[in-house]
Structures are given as C-alpha cells and as structure tokens.
Amino acid sequence: MVPAHSLEAPVSRALLIATALLGMTVVAQAGGIVVPAEERYSAFHTDLPACDDAGVLGTISSRFAGKESAFWNSSLGIDSFDKVHEIGFRANGLGYIPRRYCVAHARMNDNRERTVIYQIQDRLGWIGIGYGVEWCVIGQDHNFAYAPACSALRPFADRYLGESVLHARY
C-alpha cells in the first residue's frame, strides 16, 4: 500500500501545470494573439490584384450593367474609371480573409461621375476559386445591400470617418 502523502506531490504538480497552461491560454486569447489567415490549415493568400487591375474593373463594369438591366430596367453603365485608390489592405486585421479595399470615380454613360467602393477578396470567387470582387456605386445601391452609402464595403475603421471624408480625399 502506497502512503497518501507520497501521491499528493505528483497530483499537486500536475494540477499546478494544468492551471498554468490554462492561464497561458486565457492570457494569449485576451492579448489578441491571432493566427494570420495565410498560416491557417486552409491558407489564404495575400497576392490580390491591384485596385486598378483591368480584370477587377471589367468585372465591376459588366456586373453593374447586368444588374441595372436585369433588375432595374435601366441602360445605365460605366464607361471608364478614374482616380482609383487603395483605401486599405487587410485593414480589419490579420485574422480575417485578406481584402484590398478600393475607391474610384466612375464615368457613367449618362455623363455623370459617381463614386465606386469595392473590395477584392481572396478565395471568394466562383465556388471559392480565385479572387472575388464586391462593389457598390454610391447612389445606385437601389436595394440598399451595402447601405448606408455603400459604407458596408469600406474597412471597418474607415466606416466611422464618414462619407464627406471619403469624398474629400478621393
């Protein structure tokens, strides 16, 4: 028979180690230690197209024309883009899907200029292959999908700057 006092030390030591590991886990989570999206088991990539990439702008133009025609019975379209700027890259944090946030001025076929806010996202293309593009033309978001004023597509911190700052800067 083993005396009870000889088992107390190993059990106490094991409880102390388990408590320390649990404490380190809690501290790590509270400290904001984040695994970047490109280092996960199903890694994302940060090599996204630039804001002025012809494929990205072409996607926006063609989808805008299709949406206006199919849903709003309108022939409004985008003729060209100007003043294309990146307003953020991974601006929401390393733990999120990599996104490039952009803004541009679009010259429409009604001779008006409108602001387009869009984001290029990794692996959010067709069935998760390639990059995806989410976009919104301010003043033409008829169903308020990205309301108010397309702000849902801006980086999280940038949403609080307001539309007047966006128009003043771009």
Both 64 and 139 in one domain: the answer is yes
| 107 and 72 fall within a common domain | yes
* 16 and 91 share one domain: no
Report yes or no on 77 lying in a domain: yes
Residues 85 and 138 in one domain: yes
Q: Which domain holds residue 12?
A: 4-33
HEC profile for the chain? Answer: CCCHHHHHHHHHHHHHHHHHHHHHHHHHHHCCCCCCHHHCCCCCCCCCCCCCCHHHHHHHHHHHHHHHHHHHCCCCCEEEEEEEEEEEECCCCCCCCCEEEEEEEEEECCCCEEEEEEEEEECCCHHHCCEEEEEEECCCCCCCCCCCCCHHHCCCHHHHCCHHHHHHHC
**Same domain, yes or no: 58 and 138:** yes
pLDDT in tens, 3-49: 555 556 666 776 767 676 665 555 545 455 666 666 665 667 778 99
| 63 and 19 housed in the same domain | no
Domain assignment present for 65: yes
Q: Is residue 41 part of a domain?
A: no
Domain count across the chain = 2
Say if residue 102 is in the same domain as residue 161.
yes
Q: pLDDT by residue (tens digit) across 74-119?
A: 999 999 999 999 988 887 777 778 889 999 999 999 999 999 999 9
Clarify whether residues 70 and 9 are in a common domain.
no
The model's pTM is 0.69
Within a domain: residue 39? no
